[in-house]
Amino acid sequence: MKIPGFLLPAALLALGLAVAAPPPVQAGLPAIMDNQALPSLAPMLERVTPAVVNIATESRVSTRRNPLLEDPFFRRFFNIPDQPRERKAQSVGSGVVVDAKRGYVITNHHVVEGADTITVTLRDGRQLNAKVIGSDSQSDVAVIQIPSSNLTALQLADSDALRVGDFVVAIGNPFGLGQTVTSGIVSALGRAGLGIQGYEDFIQTDASINPGNSGGALVNLRGELVGVNTAIIAPSGGNVGIGFAIPANMVSRVMNQIVTHGTVRRGQLGISVQDLTPDLARAFNIPATQGAVIAQVSPRSAAARAGVKTGDVVLNINGKPVHDGNGLRNIIGLLEVGETVRLDLLRDGKPLTIEAKLGEYQPIKLEGATLHPQLAGVTFEDIGPNSPLAGEVQGVVAANVESGSPAARAGLHKSDVIIGVNRQRVGNTAELQQLAANGDSPLLLNLLRGRDELVLVLR
């Protein structure tokens, strides 16, 4: 059998002949096996998928233009028409209805950040406008609200009860295709130090998660929400079997604060910590093999008032084991201002229990316009105890950079860390003010942007 331009292989030809002859019996999987229905996730998913929604956002983004295009004479001379200063940006993600009566939907902060309009599409095809109740960039959790009519909500599970190897199902809107279901197992727990967000205690799963799944549900086989899908490691741009979800217990605590206060009011203990290494354990002559060492206690902080001292080793907080410095920071970061915590410590090798009432951190702010005309529009802050940079980097953070401001045009970005001024190290806003206010011109700034160290010259 030949087709012009093609030659069918013999095996494929034989298959074609076999199909041409009508088979006596149609082959296929039986509906039942040994009088038992085939195992299926369909019944659970039929109950769960109506609670998982697709989210589409639209925002306006300022466009960067060549400074020459700002000059009316230049545009008129070369007959260049006016260009729009803004463009529309659209993105897609997912969300989970967690309170049907009040219409609360959990999603990721990065899904709704900066959105002018948010459209939620339900499983039954309804499209609803949503408003943001509150959002927390440090945990990447946001709460939005839709009209509470005929909604289905998911029950949150105790994510602390998860074990590596538990079966899980991811539900979301990958690549904007529409609601999609994938399955896998819990690959690891307590993943941290990835630099994805401020507070990291991720569930790792091999259930396929792709762009657009952000904010979607990770459920157990009972259909309970165990996590909110938030990130992937994707060297090729798609799923490679390494996805991360925020645990339901973390989501619950953040959501409760957002619903109550409109924001997250994190309690502060006022300490800097580092991991308890075998070398430190030997140096302190203590038997502990895991914990967090108090490296510094801030004056007049909650820890100082409670009697915590440098060199103390924290083993437990409120009965929860502390494995390392990041674990301690995560536990404290989910507690609210005014809550009392019980710290189980080792001091000089002896056990000790201390209670402390958490305070509120008030960052010291410094407006860039007071330092240099080209820094107008940026607000500097000290690196706070909640920052993932705490204890890792000494410097001052550009907490906010106004779009189109002199600071933005000079090349400064939000989250840049100023580590030096005129070849002198900077550790806090007071030092930045002292060094940058000398009137020296040009002003030389050393800064960190992600993992890169850059130099910015202001004239």
Cβ distance 152 to 219 under 8 Å?
no
Cβ distance 324 to 333 under 8 Å?
no
pLDDT for the residue 54: 93
3-class secondary structure for the chain? CEECCEECCHHHHHHHHHHHCCCCCCCCCCCEECCEECCCCHHHHHHHHHHEEEEEEEEEEECCCCHHHHCHHHHHHCCCCCCCCEEEEEEEEEEEEEECCCCEEEECHHHHCCCCEEEEECCCCCEEECEEEEEECCCCEEEEECCCCCCCCCCECCHHHCCCCCEEEEEECHHHCCCEEEEEEEEEEEECCCCCCCCCCEEEECCCCCCCCCCCEEECCCCCEEEEEEEECCCCCCCCCCEEEEEHHHHHHHHHHHHHHCCCCEEECCEEEEECCHHHHHHHCCCCCCCEEEEEECCCCHHHHHCCCCCCEEEEECCEECCCHHHHHHHHHCCECCCEEEEEEEECCEEEEEEEECEECCCCEEEHHHCCHHHCCEEEEECCCCCCCCCCCCCEEEEEECCCCHHHHCCCCCCCEEEEECCEECCCHHHHHHHHCCCCCCEEEEEEECCEEEEEEEC
Q: Chain-wide mean pLDDT for the chain?
A: 82
pLDDT for the residue 440: 58
Q: Which of 136, 140, 324, 416 is catalytic?
A: 140
Q: Is the pLDDT score of 105 beyond 90?
A: yes
Q: Over the stretch 406-419, which tens digit does the pLDDT of each residue have?
A: 888 888 898 899 99
- Which residue would you say has higher pLDDT here, 442 or 135? 135
Q: Which of 91, 94, 109, 110 is catalytic?
A: 110
Q: Is the pLDDT score of 430 beyond 60?
A: yes
Split at pLDDT 50, 70, 90, the class of 16 is very low
Tokens of 173: 């809107």
pLDDT for the residue 241: 85
Q: What average pLDDT does range 160-186 have in this prediction?
A: 91
Tokens of 288: 């502990």
Structural domains of the chain sorted by starting position, each given as residue range(s) with its CATH number in brackets: 51-145 (2.40.10.10), 159-261 (2.40.10.10), 267-360 (2.30.42.10), 365-458 (2.30.42.10)
Who contacts 154 (Cβ-Cβ below 8 Å, separation ≥6)?
Answer: 48, 51, 52, 96, 97, 98, 217, 219, 223, 224, 225
Query: How many CB atoms are closer than 10 A to CB 153?
Result: 19
Between 45-49, 391-395, 424-428, the lowest mean confidence (pLDDT) is in 391-395
Q: Over the stretch 175-191, which tens digit does the pLDDT of each residue have?
A: 878 889 999 999 999 88
pLDDT for the residue 51: 94
Q: Which of 214, 252, 301, 387 is catalytic?
A: 214
- Give percent of the chain above pLDDT 90: 34
Q: Return d(Cα 51, Cα 100) in angstroms, integer.
A: 9
Q: Return d(Cα 199, Cα 203) in angstroms, integer.
A: 13
Q: What average pLDDT does range 113-133 have in this prediction?
A: 91
Split at pLDDT 50, 70, 90, the class of 291 is confident
Q: Give me the residue label for tokens 């959790």.
A: 141
Assess whether 214 carries a catalytic annotation. yes
Tokens of 153: 């909500």
Assess whether 110 carries a catalytic annotation. yes
Q: What average pLDDT does range 384-391 have in this prediction?
A: 65
Q: What average pLDDT does range 28-40 have in this prediction?
A: 65
Q: Does the predicted TM-score (pTM) go above 0.75? A: no
